[in-house]
Amino acid sequence: MSPSITANELARRGGIAPETLSRMKNLGRADTGTLEDLAAVVGMRLKLVPQDEIKDKMVTGSFFDD
């Protein structure tokens, strides 16, 4: 995982203006491509998973892990 970075640095590395990042945080939404870029900056990626927790556990093979 990446060391802590400031919001301004995250925005810069993600290719957006700091004001855009602030607006995204305030609105609680963002363009998917932008989210992918920001996730990549901190060593993560976006992933779609089933909303049903039991189904997700069955698909990932972790049903009995709890």
Give the pLDDT confidence of 21-64 residue by residue, as tens digits. 999 999 999 999 999 999 999 999 998 877 888 888 888 888 88
pLDDT grade, residue 1 (50/70/90)? very low
Q: What angle do CA 33, 41, 6 make, to 5 degrees?
A: 115
Q: With a cut of 60, say whether residue 3 has pLDDT above it.
A: yes
Contact criterion met (CB below 8 Å) for 55 and 62: no
CA distance 33 to 51: 21
